[in-house]
Every structure is written in structure tokens, then in C-alpha cells.
Structure 1
Amino acid sequence: MKALAFALALTAAGTLPVAAAEQVAKSPPSAPYEQVSKLVKLPDFIPGIGQLFVDPKTLPAGPFLAYDHDGALVSTIYMIPLKDLNPDKHFDDLAAPGGNVDHVSIYYNAGHPGVETPHTHIVLWHVSAKDEARVAK
């Protein structure tokens, strides 16, 4: 139930101004974002997620910007360590740099390079559920 409330809060938090969304609409986004595959040992494109960029200062949580094969932004992803999902920790003012959020997905990840500890992926999709296929392969 907390995860659902968290996702709803993210969606309701609003979006950044249009100018900010335009700066990240196409890959590569402007600084301070860097390509994740150049920071840690991950492929350039991860099926189901896409090509990731992040401001290294925001690790491990992000936001990570995810792009399809054509370089269009499809989602903003937060990777929240499970140890941080507790009553003492708050995640306020989480932004969706890509603008409007169509829907939210939340799922567990056991860990990977860059965020090695078990964590939750909170995916703010900027495209419809049908268009998620743009990063499926």
C-alpha cells in the first residue's frame, strides 16, 4: 500500500516546465546527465528499460532517464534501495524531468552494476503502456 501511495504522490507531484522537459526529450540529454553504460558495466541498451542516463551525483536513486532506440525519452526511473524504504526515510519532490507521466510501474530488482543492493524500480512512463514496446528489445 505504501508503494501505491508513493507512486500516486510521484504522479501527482506535477511536472517540470516545458523547457526543462524539452532539454531531456532526445538522447543524449544535456549536462549533468551522463550515459550509465560509460559509468558502470551495463550494456548501452537494456531490453525493457532502454538506454539510461543519470546525474552521477544523484546515485543510487536517480532519476535515470530512459530512451528508446530512436533516442526518444520513454521513462524516468528511480531506483530506491530497499533499506531506504522505511518510516524514517522520505522521498519528497521527486521530479519527472521528461514531463507528463502516463502511468507508473513499480517492481523489485535484486541489484546490478551501479545499484548493487536490492532495490525497487519506480518507472514513470512518459509513453502509453502500448508504447512501452519501444524498449522491449
Structure 2
Amino acid sequence: MTRSIILSAALLAASVTFAHSHDEKALLQSPPGEPYVQVSDVLPLPEFIPGLGTLFVAPDKLPAGPFLSYDHEGKLSATVYMTPLEELKNGTSYDNLAIGNHTVSSVDIYYNAGHPGVDKPHAHIVLYHDAEAKGRLAE
């Protein structure tokens, strides 16, 4: 488990370094537009998930994401990756993951046993885009 978290952290560092370029301004406010879809519209999940917010993902980027996380006001607050532990353990790497915003104030990495959309155990890697983001997503 510890090895998987360390591997996930290394993956995160690589993804921030080699993130795809995109128009960040287009993603700052919900909805982000194509190719992103609102997760709650396609999976049996609530529109706002406490701790993660309102999530959008490009379906072809599953399972890792990025998932764009918006607060109740529609402000981009975090970029979330969901990396299956089994795949990491078996050597799968997720390279050149995009990020919603190049400003990152803090990062959380934690275990999740699985949920609709990413049913296998995985790591949530959450890049918060400002100092207040975590608090706004918790409500």
C-alpha cells in the first residue's frame, strides 16, 4: 500500500511537470465544455460530492482522469486523479496527465475502496488550486 502511494506521488510529480497545454481560462468556471461531461449525469453519484465537489471528466481519460472539481459557485477548485492500485502495482503508468489549472497550493493523496466509475481500489490524488479550495469542497 505504501509503495502504491509513493508510486502515485511520483506519478503526480511527473504529471504536473509534463501536463498537456490547454486553455486554462476555459476550465476555470463550470461547466468546462467539451469533451468534459458531468460525472453525476452519467454515473449514479450525487451532483456535489463532499470533499470532491462537482466533478467533470473526459470519458476517454478514464479511469485516471483528470476529473475537474468545482465548488458550489462553479469555481474550479481542484484537479483529481483516480489511479487504480492494481494497475499501478502491475506497472501501468499514467503519463502526461492534464491539469485544470497550473496553480497548485496543496496536494492530498488518499485511498478509496471503489465507487461507481472507478470500482476497484484506487488512490485519489487531489491537486487544490488555491488555499481555500479544500474548505469550499468540504461543504
Q: TM-score, normalised by structure 1?
A: 0.88
Partner of 2:124: 121
Stretches (4+) displaced over 6 A? none
The reply on whether 1:45 has 2:48 as its aligned counterpart is: yes
The reply on whether 1:103 has 2:106 as its aligned counterpart is: yes
Following superposition of structure 1 onto structure 2, how do residues 1-137 of structure 1 map, counting pairs within 5 Å? 1-13=6-18, 16=21, 20-86=23-89, 88-128=91-131, 130-137=132-139
Q: Any unmatched runs of 5+ in structure 2?
A: 1-5
**Deviation at residue 67 of structure 1 after TM alignment:** 0.2
What is the letter of the counterpart of residue 109 of structure 2? I
TM-aligned CA distance change 1:59 to 1:46, over 3 Å: same
**Deviation at residue 9 of structure 1 after TM alignment:** 2.8
- Bigger drift between 61-70 and 79-88 goes to 79-88
Task: Count how many residue pairs are aligned between Structure 1 and Structure 2.
Answer: 134
1:85 match: secondary structure: helix
**Deviation at residue 87 of structure 1 after TM alignment:** 5.8
8 Å Cα contact 1:109-1:121 kept in structure 2: yes
**Deviation at residue 15 of structure 1 after TM alignment:** 6.9
8 Å Cα contact 2:56-2:68 kept in structure 1: yes
What is the letter of the counterpart of residue 3 of structure 1? S
Q: Percent identity?
A: 47
TM-aligned CA distance change 1:107 to 1:82, over 3 Å: same
- Bigger drift between 28-37 and 55-64 goes to 55-64
